[in-house]
Amino acid sequence: MCPIRIYAYDLGHMKSIVLPPSLKALLPLQMHELCQGAFYKKNERLFLTGKKPEWMFYVIAGEVTLERTGLQGESVVLQRTRLGFVSEASLKTAKYHCDGLAITDTNVIKVPITELSGALDRDPDFASRWISMLNTEVKRLRLHCERLSMKSIKDRVLHLINTEGKNGEYQVNTGLKSLAGELGVTHEALYRTLAALEKTRTIRRGEGMLTLTEKP
C-alpha cells in the first residue's frame, strides 16, 4: 500500500480535508466534517502528560511515539505509530497518561474526543467497528510486550523485523537512538548488536532500512 502524503500546507489551508479510507470507513458520517488536519514538526509534542484530552489523533504520514520518563530520567517508548490512532486510552480519562511526540515531521487527523465518545454511546455499529480496531491494536501491543520480554537484544531486533516489518524489511525513519528506546535498550548496545548481526550476515543495513538476509 502506498503511503498517504498530505503536506502541512494542505492540512492547514483546506476548508475540508479528505479522510484516509480506513478512517472514513471507521467513523460515522456525521463525524467526518468535525475532523481537522494538523501538521507537527519533528520533536513537537501533540499532547502532554496530565493535560485534559480534547482530541484523538490519527497519524496519516510521519511517526508518533507515546513516551514517559523513566526512573533514571530516560525516555521510555510505550507505543510507536506510523498509521492509525494514538492516545486511544485517553478516550474516557480525565488526563493524558503520557506524552505524544512527533519523531519526524508528521501529519495527523484530529478527531474531537467529546463528539467521538458520544457517537460511540449512541451508535452500536460504530462501537463494534471501534472495538474491532482496538482488538487489532491490542494484538500489536502484545507483540511489543513479547519483544520486550526477550533477554537478548539480538532476539528483540529479529522479532521486530519479523513482526513489524514487511517481507523481511523494517524501515527505520527516525534513527537508531529512537529505535533503541522502543526496544528498551541503550543505543550503544543496539549499535553493537546490529554490527554483530551484519558481521554474521543475518541482517543488512541500508539507508533507513534493516533487512533480513540468508546466511551463507
- Enumerate the domain spans of the chain: 8-148, 153-212
* Interval 51-84: pLDDT, tens: 999 999 999 999 898 988 777 777 777 888 888 9
- Confidence band, pLDDT 50/70/90 cuts, at residue 27: very high
Q: Are 82 and 63 in contact (CB under 8 A)?
A: yes
CATH second-level architecture of 153-212?
Orthogonal Bundle (1.10)
* Interval 90-110: pLDDT, tens: 888 999 989 999 998 999 999
Query: Average pLDDT for residues 18-37, to the nearest whole number?
Result: 93
**With respect to CATH, is domain 8-148 assigned 3.40.140.10?**
no
Task: Report the pLDDT value the prediction gives residue 214, as an integer from 0 to 100.
Answer: 66
Task: Report the pLDDT value the prediction gives residue 16, as an integer from 0 to 100.
Answer: 55
Share of the chain above pLDDT 90, in %: 54
**Structure pTM?**
0.71
d(CA 145, CA 180): 15
The set of cell numbers assigned to 61 is: 504520514
